[in-house]
Structure 1
């Protein structure tokens, strides 16, 4: 992993690109109000591409996709700000639509786009010869998913949607039970399972590593958000 990637992107600004041994990650922010992150993943061997969250602005996303097309669009969860460009991107590329099982119907209701593949813990999504492992993290929504790429040449890379951010887990909107489920899933399925040098990419804002956030887990649990 040799690059100057920071993950600091702004709507209207340039994308940031990270090149791993087998995978290229392009991060771009869309929509001035919501500042969502979208991630274009490209297999260095085959050129196949997968988009994580067609959040908004197809006029920004489709030029990044280019002539190589998309094999799939993965929607990390059902909230409206993460799939506003889904219909346009799928219409332009014919990509397969992937989402977490419990959120799939809501995504279709909101976008009019059928979910071709409903995934949960243990499923995988191919990016050419690379593989993303699906981790279901319940709480921010019932069917939120994270995507894990185990780089054979370096630390793991994790796309967390709105389930994990620098500084805390995702919003559970005052629902104590949902928070308890979310913090438990994040702790057991992510922090207990992955090393400190795991780099994670959230649905909004800057990236971080698990090592930077791990010392604060007890604090997050105690404060209840």
Structure 2
């Protein structure tokens, strides 16, 4: 699928590329489509969640310098193209250290840098702010861009509620606390760009939190 521009400020845009593959954990494997986000201008960019297939991601990048590959978490469907992207661009990878045990299931060498709550990453005309939101995985992070009025939530918050918490290293109580204390503190009009599926807003999701149901086994 060709890249789709979903937001912009000046010369800086956010593009979405959808890639397809599988997610495997706890002995199961599922077919999934992932949202890959490319943030930048016509000279430089960062990639958020290099998933499955590097080719369409690199096509969307074009001749731009890739400053970083930012991982919202280290489930295999979100990081399997990081190595190929590095080989093509030499862009360093960033991951919260609490997800290192998941990363190590895919790669024999570690990510290049750690992400921490409160970190700021500059690209184009915008600043990306890192918010540690554990629950879907211990090192899950969300990436807020105030100038664009968006937050990239990976698998922490979706159109319809929290991400999955029925598998290893996840916690329903932790993810709901992360969402309520950190994400619902953002302006209601903030657009939520998710790791899979459609976008939503903070206000829409806050308004229907009473409909959340704890998954069986979570």
Task: State the TM-score, normalizing by the size of structure 2.
Answer: 0.87
Q: Which residue of 2 aligns with 1:8?
A: none
Alignment partner of 1:40 is 2:38: yes
Matched length: 205
Q: Which residue of 1 aligns with 2:107?
A: 111
CA contact (8 A) 1:104 1:118 kept: no
Counterpart-to-counterpart distance in 2, 1:95 and 1:180: 35
Per-residue deviation, 1:112: 3.4
Counterpart-to-counterpart distance in 2, 1:15 and 1:160: 19
Q: Which residue of 1 aligns with 2:166?
A: 173
Per-residue deviation, 1:198: 0.3
Q: Please list the CA deviations of residues 168-200 of structure 1 after superposition, one character each: whole Å capped at 9, or x if unmatched.
A: 10100068x810111011011010x21111001
CA contact (8 A) 2:47 2:68 kept: yes
Question: Secondary structure of the residue that 1:20 maps to in structure 2?
Answer: strand
CA contact (8 A) 2:76 2:102 kept: no
**For residues 19 and 163 of structure 1, do their structure 2 counterparts lie closer, same or farther at Cα, with a shift above 3 Å needed?**
closer
CA contact (8 A) 1:83 1:111 kept: no
Q: Which residue of 2 aligns with 1:5?
A: none
Which stretches of structure 1, 4 residues or more, deviate above 6 A after TM superposition? none
Listed as ranges, the gaps of 5+ residues in structure 1 are 1-12
**For residues 91 and 113 of structure 1, do their structure 2 counterparts lie closer, same or farther at Cα, with a shift above 3 Å needed?**
farther
**For residues 50 and 113 of structure 1, do their structure 2 counterparts lie closer, same or farther at Cα, with a shift above 3 Å needed?**
farther
Listed as ranges, the gaps of 5+ residues in structure 2 are 22-30
Q: Which residue of 1 aligns with 2:24?
A: none
The one of 96, 103, 128 equivalent to 1:100 is 96
Counterpart-to-counterpart distance in 2, 1:63 and 1:174: 34
Alignment partner of 1:204 is 2:196: yes
Per-residue deviation, 1:14: 2.8
1:3-22 → structure 2 map (5 Å cutoff): 13-22=1-10
**For residues 86 and 112 of structure 1, do their structure 2 counterparts lie closer, same or farther at Cα, with a shift above 3 Å needed?**
farther
Alignment partner of 1:66 is 2:62: yes
Per-residue deviation, 1:108: 4.2
RMSD of the alignment, in Å?
2.0
Q: Please list the CA deviations of residues 136-168 of structure 1 after superposition, one character each: whole Å capped at 9, or x if unmatched.
A: 1111100001000001xx6x2000000000101
Alignment partner of 1:26 is 2:24: no
The one of 176, 187, 196 equivalent to 2:180 is 187
The one of 126, 131, 134 equivalent to 2:130 is 134
Alignment partner of 1:89 is 2:85: yes
Task: State the TM-score, normalizing by the size of structure 1.
Answer: 0.84
Question: Secondary structure of the residue that 1:24 maps to in structure 2?
Answer: strand
Greater strand fraction, Structure 1 or Structure 2: 2
